[in-house]
Copies of this chain bind each other. A is one copy, B any other.
Amino acid sequence: MHTDFKLIRHSIVAITLIVSTHCVVGQYLMPMPSSILLGSGFLRIDSSFTVRLLNPDDETLTSAARRFVERLMKRTGIPISEGIVRGEAIVKLSVSYRKISGKTQSAVEDESYTLTVAENGAEVKAETRCGVLRGLETFLQLIEIGSDGFRVPCLTIEDKPRFPWRGLLIDACRHWLPVEIIKRNLDGMAMVKMNVLHWHLSEDQGFRVESRKFPKLHGMGSDGNYYTQEQIKEVISYAADRGIRVVPEFDMPGHSTAWFVGYPEIASAPGPYQIERKWGVFDPAMDPTREETYKFLDEFIGEMAKLFPDEYFHIGGDEVNGKQWDANLKIQEFKRKNNLEDNHALQAYFNRRVLAILKKHGKKMIGWDEIFHPDLPKDIVVQSWRGQKSLAEGAKQGYQGILSFGYYLDHIRPASYHYSIDPIDSTIASLTKEEQSRILGGEACMWAEYVSPENVDSRIWPRTAAIAERLWSPASVKDAETMYRRLEVVSKQLEYVELTHRTSYTQMLERLAGNNSIEPLKVLADVVEPVKFYERGKTRQYTSLTPLNRLVDATRPESNNARIFARLLREFQQNKTSNNDRTLLNDLLALWKENHAKLEPLLANNQLLDDVEPLSRDLADVSVIALKLMETFASKENLTEGQTRLFTAILQRAEKQKGALLLMVVPPVKKLFESAQK
Contacts and interface: CB of A to CB of B under 8 A. Distances in A.
Contacts of A608: 145, 149
A360 interface: no
Contacts of A5: 519-520, 523, 591, 594-595, 598
A39 interface: no
Contact of A4 (B7, B16, B605): B7
Contacts of A75: 511
Nearest to A485: B515
Contacts of A594: 2, 5
Most B C-beta atoms less than 10 A away, residue of A81, A512, A515, A594: A515
Contacts of A593: 2
Contact of A590 (B4, B79, B549): B4
A517 B587 contact: no
A224 B553 CA distance: 43
A77 B455 CA distance: 11
B19 A515 contact: yes
Nearest to A553: B77
Q: Which of A16, A28, A75 has the most CB of B within 10 A?
A: A16
B605 A146 contact: yes
A144 B79 contact: no
A102 interface: no
A478 B144 CA distance: 47
Contacts of A55: none
A454 B73 CA distance: 11
A646 interface: no
B78 A149 contact: no
A509 to B, nearest CB: 11
Given A4-B7, A77-B549, A523-B5, A607 B145 contact: yes
Contacts of A28: 515
Contact of A17 (B74, B517, B523): B517
A607 B507 contact: no
A78 B511 CA distance: 12
A230 interface: no
A81 B7 CA distance: 45
A571 interface: no
Nearest to A517: B16
A19 B523 CA distance: 19
A591 B7 contact: no
A13 interface: yes
A452 B78 CA distance: 11
A47 B548 CA distance: 12
B4 A12 contact: no
A81 B176 CA distance: 13
Contacts of A149: 607-608
A516 interface: yes
A547 B516 contact: no
A21 B516 contact: yes
Contact size range, A: 35 or more
A203 to B, nearest CB: 17
Contacts of A544: 79
Contacts of A514: 21, 144-145
A587 B547 contact: no
A40 interface: no
Contacts of A148: 607
A9 B599 CA distance: 12
A626 to B, nearest CB: 15
Contacts of A11: 4, 8
A482 interface: no
A81 B545 contact: yes
Contact of A601 (B12, B21, B601): B21
A430 B602 CA distance: 50
A139 B81 CA distance: 46
A553 B78 CA distance: 12
A76 interface: yes
A489 interface: yes
B516 A19 contact: yes
A516 B17 CA distance: 7
Nearest to A77: B549
Contacts of A549: 76-78
A510 interface: yes
Contacts of A489: 515
A13 B519 contact: yes
Contact of A77 (B1, B511, B604, B607): B511
A47 B12 contact: no
Given A5-B519, A5-B523, 17 more contacts: A2-B593, A8-B12, A16-B517, A17-B517, A19-B517, A28-B515, A47-B545, A77-B508, A77-B547, A144-B514, A145-B608, A146-B606, A147-B604, A147-B606, A149-B608, A495-B507, A503-B503
Interface of A: 1-5, 7-9, 11-13, 16-17, 19, 21, 27-28, 47, 74-79, 81, 144-149, 452, 454, 489, 492, 495, 503, 507-508, 510-512, 514-520, 523, 544-545, 547-549, 553, 587, 590-591, 593-595, 598, 601-602, 604-608
23 contacts: A2-B594, A8-B12, A8-B591, A9-B519, A13-B518, A13-B519, A19-B515, A19-B516, A21-B601, A28-B515, A47-B545, A77-B454, A77-B508, A77-B548, A77-B553, A144-B515, A145-B514, A145-B608, A146-B606, A147-B604, A148-B607, A489-B515, A492-B515
